[in-house]
Structure 1
Amino acid sequence: MNYDELIVVTRRLALEAGQKIMEIYNADDFDVKVKSDDSPVTEADEAADALISAGLRKAFPDVLLVTEEQSASHSIKGDTFLIVDPLDGTKEFINRRGDFTVNIALVEAGVPTRGVVYAPARDRMFYTLADGTSVEEAGPFDIETPGATTPIRVADSDNSALLVVASKSHRDQATDDYINKYNVSDMKSAGSSLKFCLVATGEADLYPRVGRTMEWDTAAGHAVLNGAGGQVVRFDDHSPLVYGKEGFANPFFIAFAPAVDLKEA
């Protein structure tokens, strides 16, 4: 894989998909359907999926591609693949709350090694460089010419005063019970894969997820967090979260800065 080309292509596709998503988001109305798993899907999900899929297949025709909107037709036949969630945070999108993202990642040997997360309504974009380190690019964004980037790094966490981020749409008692094991100075709520990025930039120390997610929901944010020095582990045994699983479903997990003293589930 040519990582330099990958970063150029995925950054451009994320921005182009973000433009399409915002056109629909800012319209007076848009169609919402319900998928077989009872999750919502909008015309923005489908338009962004088509745009990103076409771009990736053209640029990397020999690399397996997995996308949320086409996942029923996918199976993993290798340990290297591209994985896409064209619109993570569909509920945030439908409710016009802004915390939704475009996510494109490369998985190698079960690990998300490169990724881009773009939050078009928040004007924030995070991605890994060819060397695997992570940056945040400052807007406004030009599709062809990258703007100034700032390296991002997880916090040197203070375990007596942790900053925790949790899901805005999927918060529950089990999540609160786990968070209460820590000395928390502040809590944030955020939607979509932005939670990984808040840990990656040091704006939060810990993101526990006690709920259903799929690999396309997490891979790009996981890659960005890896590149910023963070980690993502399974909730039950603190082993690394791996990708390429049958059915693409994730176990519960914890994303965190390594200075955090993790508590048992």
Structure 2
Amino acid sequence: MTTADLLPLEEGPSLGAVLDPVLDRAASEIEAFQSGPELVRFKHSVHGGMEPVTELDLRIQDLITTALEQAWPGLPVIAEEGRESIGHVPENCVLVDPLDGTVPFLEGNPAFAIAVCLVRSGRPVQAIVDLPAYQVRVSTTGAELAVTGDVSRLPSFDPDTVLTSPRHTDLAARLLPSRPVAAVPTASVKMVLVALGRARAAAYLPAARGSAAPWDYAAAALAVHAAGGEARDPAGRNLARTLPARLDGWLATSHAPRPPGDLKPLMLPAR
């Protein structure tokens, strides 16, 4: 079967039906990993440089990939582990980040997630972001948001606070001197906090000269959209309505159709 032969979306299973049992098992894998030492290796990152990868990352990716391939034979699964470059994202595929935030996870920080996004005809249509440390799971079709777990477990931020990656906080504070800035290390976690009303804005700054991979943000951007907010790239493209790709930056806010004007400096390109 090829991607051209895929069943129409409405005739296939939901992403939640396929992955909820797998994510429950992944939670057990995470608990087992945390109870005893396991080998941590380093890999070439798609962002450049080296970053850690564990057997847990690989086991969770295998569990998710296997379930997806059984549910949608022939549909490409674009998963993070095993890749040294981002490449082109097919118009029909599933994007998988088996452990978004491996570094904070290894440091004992709860800001890590499992993120999966189904892409059809060049746009995200279903997504799941699982936050195992908080026992909160977000599922969305883009039109509605379903949440399991106690959202009050999640951190909450002052309405004026902007969430950024730890290495972007100084730059964000210089660009927005009138706004408090808080560090949250994982892209999908930052966006989900916006989607669930625990924060009003989160950003990955293009001036920081980094890049965001499509599996880093696609699932959570769809959740932000379903909650009534927006996630856009520096060119203004709606990330819930465009084919996921490598990005130089993004801004997610609970405000739609447009965020407060004072956030514009966050999307200035590198100079």
- What TM-score, normalized to structure 2? 0.77
- 1:66 Cα offset (Å): 0.5
In structure 2, the CA distance between the partners of 1:234 and 1:75, relative to structure 1 (3 Å rule), is: closer
Q: Which residue of 2 aligns with 1:18?
A: 27
Aligned-CA RMSD value: 2.7
Aligned runs of 1:1-265 on 2, under 5 Å? 1-2=9-10, 4-27=13-36, 29-37=37-45, 38-71=50-83, 76=88, 78-129=90-141, 132-138=143-149, 162-168=160-166, 170-180=167-177, 183-184=178-179, 187-192=181-186, 193-210=188-205, 211-235=210-234, 237-241=235-239, 242-245=242-245, 249-259=246-256, 260-262=259-261, 263-264=264-265, 265=268
Supply the AA of the counterpart residue of 2:56.
Answer: A
Structure 1 distance, partners of 2:249, 2:40, is: 28
| CA distance in structure 2 between the aligned counterparts of 1:87 and 1:206, rounded to whole angstroms | 23
The change in CA–CA distance for 1:4 and 1:132 in structure 2 (over 3 A counts) is farther
Supply the AA of the counterpart residue of 2:129: V
Per-residue deviation, residues 2-50 of structure 1 (Å, max 9, x unmatched):
46532211233222223212211232x1211111230211111111111
Number of corresponding residues: 237
In structure 1, distance between residues paired with 2:243 and 2:83: 14
Q: Deviations over 1:48-94 (max 9, x none)?
A: 11111111111111322100014359865741211000000001111
**1:219 Cα deviation (Å)?**
1.3
Query: Which one-letter code corresponds to 2:232 in the other structure?
Result: V
User: Any idea what SS the aligned residue of 1:35 has?
Assistant: strand
Q: In the alignment, is the contact (CA less than 8 A) between 2:169 and 2:183 conserved in 1?
A: no
Aligned-partner residue type, residue 191 of structure 1: P
Q: Is the 8 A contact 2:86 2:213 kept in 1?
A: no
Cα gap change, 1:19 to 1:55, in 2 (>3 Å): same
8 Å CA contact 2:169–2:181 kept in 1: the answer is no
Distance 1:78 1:215 in 2: 11
Determine helix, strand or coil for the equivalent of 2:146: strand
Gap regions ≥5 residues in structure 2: 1-8, 152-157
Between 215-224 and 77-86, report the one with greater CA deviation: 77-86
Give deviations 1:102-125, integer Å, cap 9, x for gaps: 111112344322111111112111
* Segment drifting more, 13-22 vs 74-83: 74-83
Give the number of the structure with larger relative contact order, counting CA–CA contacts within 8 Å between residues 6 or more apart.
1
* 1:69 alignment partner, SS class: coil
Structure 1 window deviating more from structure 2 (104-113 vs 73-82): it is 73-82
CA drift of 1:171 comes to 3.0
Measure the CA separation in 2 of the matches of 1:112 and 1:178.
Answer: 31
CA contact (8 A) 1:10 1:104 kept: no
Structure 2: distance between partners of 1:17 and 1:206:
29
Amino acid at match of 1:261: P
> Structure 1 length normalisation: TM-score?
0.79
Report the Cα offset of residue 128 of structure 1.
0.9
In structure 2, do the counterparts of structure 1 residues 243 and 32 end up closer, same or farther at CA, with 3 Å as the change threshold? farther
Supply the AA of the counterpart residue of 1:254: L
Counterpart code for 1:163 = T
